[in-house]
Structure 1
Amino acid sequence: MNPILKEAFETEMHHAKESYRSQDWEKSFLHLERAHILGQRDAVPHTINHWWMLKVGVRNKDHTEVLGQIVRIAVAGIGSILGRAPMGNTGGANVGILTPMPIPEDLKKIFIRAGLPAG
């Protein structure tokens, strides 16, 4: 994983886990969505991110999210390896697996600093 993306991904995951421990599921999921945008090009971070999304879905008793994340965990690594992860996709069950989405401006700057396409 690109070191600049890795640092940003790990920061978002750190915030997500802190919020998870505080039982702030909404804030945790927001950080997981941001981490997903940053990490979806790499199989391991991508899959770890979906595991945490699944955990939040379980805590929220959100059956749609749980099922959606189980499916995503099964295909996340493959999509990353094949380069099929859609830019900007936030990774939640509320969006299509292959749906590209706009990248938030602050995350675009991270991609640009990393010398990677940002949209």
Structure 2
Amino acid sequence: MQVELRKAIDEAFVQAQEELRAHRSDKALVWLERAHVLTQRRPWLHARSHWLMLRAGWQQGDAREVLGQVPRILAALLFSRIWVPVGNTGRARVSAFQPMSISEELRRLLE
């Protein structure tokens, strides 16, 4: 994995976990959406982004987010190397099959 991409992934996870510890799950989810896009083709990291989204949903008391992340964790582990909807943010309120646009910054990191 290129150094710049790895740094961006690490930063997204560190920031998300800091926000979760501070009980700012809404801010954590912004970082987790970024982490999700950057890790979609890496099963363990992809699943980690969904696990932390589940934790953020739990912290918010959002049953839809919590329940929606469970199948996404399993799918991340099983299908990340086969097919992913590029740019999808990974949240439970978005179809798990919907490709989404990617910012130029993230596109550059993924090239």
Range class of TM-score, shorter chain: over 0.9
- Whether the 8 Å CA contact 1:5–1:39 is kept in 2: the answer is no
Moved over 6 A (4+): none
Return 99-108 or 85-94, whichever deviates more. 99-108
Counterpart Cα distance in 1 of 2:74 and 2:41: 15
Give unmatched runs, 5+ long, in structure 1.
none
- Whether the 8 Å CA contact 1:13–1:35 is kept in 2: the answer is yes
Counterpart Cα distance in 1 of 2:21 and 2:104: 28
Which residue identity does 1:60 align to in structure 2? Answer: Q
Which residue identity does 1:56 align to in structure 2? Answer: A
Counterpart Cα distance in 2 of 1:6 and 1:96: 27
Trace 1:66-77 onto structure 2 (pairs within 5 A).
Answer: 66-77=66-77
Counterpart Cα distance in 2 of 1:36 and 1:85: 11
- Following TM superposition, by how much is the alpha carbon of 1:90 offset from its aligned partner in structure 2, in angstroms? 0.3
Trace 1:96-115 onto structure 2 (pairs within 5 A).
Answer: 96-111=95-110
CA RMSD between the two structures: 1.2
What is the count of residue pairs matched by the alignment? 111
